[in-house]
Amino acid sequence: MSLCNRQIRSRVGVKTVLAIAAVLSLSFLVACSSSSPKGQAPPTGGFSNSNLSGTYAFSVIGEDVNGGIVAFAGTFAANGSGGITSGTIDIVQPSVLSAPAQGVGVTSGGYSVGADGRPESNSGLLTLATASNGTFYFDYVLSSSNGGLITYYSTLAGDGGTGSGSFQLQTSVAQSSINGQAYAFSTSGASSTGAPFATAGAFTLNGSGGVAAGIEDVVLGSTYPTTLPCTATGCTMSGGNITLSGTSAPGTASFVTTPGTFTFDVYPVSPSQLIFIETDQAFITTGTAFTQATSIPAGNNVYSVSGLDYTEQTPSGDTAPEASAGLLVTNGSGEITSGYQDYNDNGSSPTTPSTLTSGSYTPLTSGRSVMTLVGFVNQSGLGCSSCSFALYPFASGGVTGMEILEIDGGGITGGVAYAQGASPTFASGQGYGLNLSGTNEANSDAEEDDIAEFAFESSGSCSGGASGTNLCGLIDFNDTISGTTQTSFGQSYSSAYAADTSISGHGAVAAGNNAYGMATYVVNDSTSLAVVNDGSGMVAVGTIDTQSATTAASANAVQQHLVAIRAASMAGKHLKKGKSR
């Protein structure tokens, strides 16, 4: 890392930091980065404010400065010239709000898009102002005019925090557009007392929006082994409904299952994609439903999963975070013929992928399959000798994949797998957006959410990079530590990338200037998945999206599956309620 960046990051991990010191540090960071190279714009043309035009749906989940979960979902209308004209936002933050703030009107706001698809400066962040709940700030990187990656990026004392998510251009979705449709979905977050919580499932709506049939796996991490309230066949949905309220105002959803009734606000992206934010106060989660598929994708499937493992739970209740990315090869007949895994176990990880010993998956029943993996590394193999995951396949916007949730009782890990396309490689001369979301074990288990943009040059000669680097651009860091938010905007980013010719789509990003070392797996010419594996203490998964400033390419479905790893200490924290905002 550069000298400037070492100074910046050295302050992280201090137990007590005054709010004024955070503000002064931010001023220093901006000044320090002024001599950094510009972000690299895609070769097809630079981004500008005109690329953010229309009404977008978004969701973000993360950690606030009080050590509790904070979640957002909503819409915002961008006018293409730097102004936010309207919108609606849901805010779930038990440490500040005694009840979820639902359907809060966005009265104004702004943004300033730079040529690389990031904010032009730290004053160009996406701002959403409300009359009743204050103003919220979000960092972002555009993939195209149809959407991008987003982080909660606030330094407000008492209300700040960090989190990851995405935003997509909305289409008009009427109630009749979803009636009779079948969906696969997942949600993740925590209970009202801070215990990690996740679900995955499938449901079919009848002609009036009622849940005609459904099944759901529910995992709660309050104890070891983790609580699985239903049998190995999952929880049956006995009722519920989804009712939409138009484009801007949130709709509502309820799922009546064996463990109880879960309620949500719903923001539609399209008839094949619905964003959920939980409103029942028992749990704080966000998630997405995609149109259900009728089979497990056969062939190469790129996956990433992350979460917490309870095998090594200490008497104080701490757990260890873990993250994995890899490749599963399915034969269409219930066998996983080969597979690879790059993993990060509590900050420790090998630099080369491990090989899965064997694997299998059951036929679909009500949209659900169970996958068993032998040789999957889960807490150095202690978590499960034959790790089990529920699979729920989906197909949306030309993308096929599977929701994944661990159901062996050893912990809470979840994520997604995507069918890999032909010739999965990074393209020379192309611009990419990157989001990393995880927890930094070297910084007191602080959640960290980073946004970056870089250009890739196969020759290793991209402008502004040091000798031997071929990923060059800018990165914005965001951490929440000891009651304050630490932000570092516009830091130079450069690293070297090496493709692995032996594993389809696999490659390695070296630790570099403000760059974590990562194992990457290319899904297709739009999307790649990544896991940090450099031994730095950062446990994180990432999404890398191809950028295009001149085409309205569909926002990638993978953007809705950034799994924010909850810091290990959060499992034992009680979220205080009742403060006013």
Full DSSP string of 14-53? -S---HHHHHHHHHHHHHHGGGSPPPPPPTT----GGGSE
| Nearest to 329, CA basis, from 363, 348, 355, 365 | 355
Model confidence band, residue 377 (pLDDT cutoffs 50, 70, 90)? confident
**What are the residue boundaries of the structural domains of the chain, listed by start?**
175-293, 299-419
Q: How many CB atoms lie within 10 A of CB 422?
A: 8
Average pLDDT over residues 71-83: 97
In this model, does residue 221 exceed pLDDT 70?
A: yes
Q: Is 425 helix (H, G, I), strand (E, B) or coil?
A: coil
Whether the Cβ atoms of residue 139 and residue 119 lie closer than 8 Å to each other: yes
In this model, does residue 471 exceed pLDDT 50?
A: yes
| CA 519 – CA 437 distance, rounded (Å) | 15
Task: Kindly tell me the number of DSSP H helices and DSSP E strands found in the chain.
Answer: 3, 34
| CA 88 – CA 76 distance, rounded (Å) | 7
Structure tokens at 110: 């702004």
| CA 492 – CA 4 distance, rounded (Å) | 10
Full-model pTM = 0.90
CA 149 to chain centre: 9
| CA 531 – CA 324 distance, rounded (Å) | 6
Per-residue pLDDT at 385:
74
CATH of segment(s) 299-419: 2.40.128
Average pLDDT over residues 134-140: 94
Report the interhelical angle of 3-10 vs 19-32 (nearest 10°): 170
Q: pLDDT tens digits for 178-202?
A: 999 999 999 998 888 778 889 999 9
End-to-end CA distance of the chain: 38
Average pLDDT, the chain: 83
Q: Do domains 175-293 and 299-419 have the same CATH topology?
A: no
Q: pLDDT tens digits for 528-581?
A: 999 999 988 898 999 999 999 887 655 444 444 434 444 333 433 333 333 333
Amino acid at 117: G
| CA 225 – CA 408 distance, rounded (Å) | 9
Q: pLDDT tens digits for 408-433?
A: 887 788 999 999 999 899 998 899 99
| CA 175 – CA 193 distance, rounded (Å) | 35
In this model, does residue 16 exceed pLDDT 60?
A: no
Q: Between β-strands 336-345 and 235-243, what pairing exists: parallel, antiparallel or unpaired? A: unpaired
Of the candidate CATH numbers 2.40.110.10, 2.40.160.20, 3.60.21.10, 3.20.20.70, the domain formed by 175-293 belongs to 2.40.160.20
Model confidence band, residue 161 (pLDDT cutoffs 50, 70, 90)? confident
| CA 65 – CA 177 distance, rounded (Å) | 40
Q: Which residues contact 27 (CB under 8 A, 6 or more apart)?
A: none
Average pLDDT over residues 138-143: 95
**Angle (CA) 179 182 184, round 5°:** 130
Whether the Cβ atoms of residue 454 and residue 436 lie closer than 8 Å to each other: no
Q: pLDDT tens digits for 299-350?
A: 999 999 988 876 654 444 457 788 999 999 999 999 999 999 999 888 878 8
Average pLDDT over residues 361-365: 97
Structure tokens at 33: 């980065």
The strand order across the sheet containing 527-532 reads 484-495, 471-481, 446-456, 430-440, 538-546, 527-532, 518-522, 506-509, 497-499
